[in-house]
Chain A
Amino acid sequence: EIVLTQSPGTLSLSPGERATLSCRASQSVSSSYLAWYQQKPGQPPRLLIYGASFRATDIPDRFGGSGSGTDFTLTISRLEPEDFAVYYCQQYGSSLWTFGQGTKVEIK
C-alpha cells in the first residue's frame, strides 16, 4: 500500500499570501492518478486537482498542482478567505486508493 505523507500538518497564513502544500508518496505514483481535495467543516470533500495538475470544473486558477513520481505540490497563489480549509492528496494504484492525512490551512 502506498502511503502519502502531507506536510506541513498546519499552515498559518494571511489572506493574499501564497500557500505551498506538499504530498510525498512512499513509492512512485502515476501522475494520472494523483488528486487533491479541499474540505471545509461540515462539508464533504471537493475535488480541486486531478491528474496532478488539472483543475476540476469551476476551480479558480489560483489553485495549481504540480509534481511527479513521489513528490507532488498544491499551490494556492493568493489565499482568499474561502480557501482556509483542510486539503488532502489522494492516489490510486493497484485497485486501491489512499489519502494523505491532510494539511490544514488556517488564518494567521
Chain B
Amino acid sequence: QVQLVQSGAEVKKPGASVKVSCKASGYTINTYAIAWVRQAPGQGLEWMGCISGYDGKTNHAQKFQGRISMTTDTSTSTVYMELRSLRSDDTAVYYCARVGIVVKYFDLWGRGTLVSVS
C-alpha cells in the first residue's frame, strides 16, 4: 500500500526543537522528493521545505532559514524534519507529502503530526 506514515503528536516548550518523521511505503523513495507543509489552527497551508529522495538535496522557504533541517534514512525509507527554536506560533499540524521529481505536485500526503508549543 502506497502511504506516508507520520510520527505522533508532540508537545514542546518555547525554544525547544521537534523532529517529525515520515515513513514511506509502497514506492521507491529515491524516485520522489518529500515536502513538508504546515497548517496552523484554522489557517491555510504553508510550504516549509523539500528534500530530494534521489540526492538528498534540500530547499526551504526563506522564513525557516536557520531553523529547519530535513534528512532521509534510505535504509528505513524515512524522512525527518527538525524545526528548532520553537515559538508559540509554530503550533500547527505538520504534513509530509510526496512530490514528483519532474511534475512538482503533491500527490500523496501523510495524515499530519500536531506539534503544540506551549
Q: Which residues of A contact B (CB under 8 A)?
A: 1, 32-33, 35, 37, 39, 43-47, 50-51, 56, 88, 90, 92, 95-102
Q: B44 contacts A97, CB within 8 Å?
A: no
Stretch at the interface among B10-18, B45-53, B74-82, B83-91: B45-53
B interface residues, how many (CB within 8 angstroms): 21
Q: B112 contacts A97, CB within 8 Å?
A: no
Q: B47 contacts A96, CB within 8 Å?
A: yes
Q: B95 contacts A44, CB within 8 Å?
A: yes
Does B111 make an interface contact (CB < 8 A)? Answer: yes
Pairs A–B under 8 Å by Cβ, sample size 14: A33-B105, A35-B106, A39-B45, A44-B109, A45-B109, A51-B105, A56-B107, A88-B44, A90-B47, A95-B59, A96-B47, A97-B50, A98-B47, A102-B45
Does B117 make an interface contact (CB < 8 A)? Answer: no
* Interchain CB contact (< 8 A) of A50 among B45, B47, B105, B109: B105
How far, in angstroms, from A46 to B109 measured CA to CA in the complex?
8
Q: A44 contacts B107, CB within 8 Å?
A: no
Q: A97-B47, A97-B50 are in contact. List 5 more A-B contacts (CB 8 A).
A: A47-B105, A47-B107, A90-B105, A102-B44, A102-B45
How far, in angstroms, from A1 to B45 measured CA to CA in the complex?
16
Known: A95-B59, A97-B35. A47 touches B46 (CB 8 A): no
